Structure 1
């Protein structure tokens, strides 16, 4: 079974959105403790912290997105952003790279990791 890849920006945005939903669910869980205000307050504070964490992640990906290289996807013709050496098109999930040594190779997220000195010599 082939692994489904998504662009890095979309992965991080999906993570931030999940933090919002998790925070709301935790806060909603606090309603079940109406007779114990301290426990209810703890649930509300933890849920609020998840929502604040989501805000931080959205801000971070927004700043990261401004530094991303914008390209036009050769498959769908739409503009997309590339983070790292390889990434996927945000619209059609086509493999994109700006590194000529990686053109034609099968997509691997490990191409974006920094290589050790021993790996560079290979």
Structure 2
């Protein structure tokens, strides 16, 4: 995936263009995103990111209403009170980017909290 600008053990950054979000962060572990925020902030600061970011926590929260989290980041910290769960439409490019990433890293899917039906759909080409 050519848009990946940073790979870490617990998450990846994908640079977005033509979106209101500057970065998509795909969490690649079954940990709450809140435990990763300090490291994410360090990396966002190092990449000189300023603006709305979106975190996809599919592997932790499943395909639920708490999957996508948006926040505002500038300088070296998240803006207080900017975190919120958001709903992303099924056909949105953000879902496609995460699904493509996970299909190319299928071991992450195998050991995720997704149910067997969701895993099959994803690996057969459906976007979650």
TM-score by length of 2: 0.21
> Which has the higher relative contact order, 1 or 2, with Cα contacts under 8 A spaced 6 or more apart?
1
The structure with the larger Rg is 1
Q: Which has the higher strand share?
A: 2
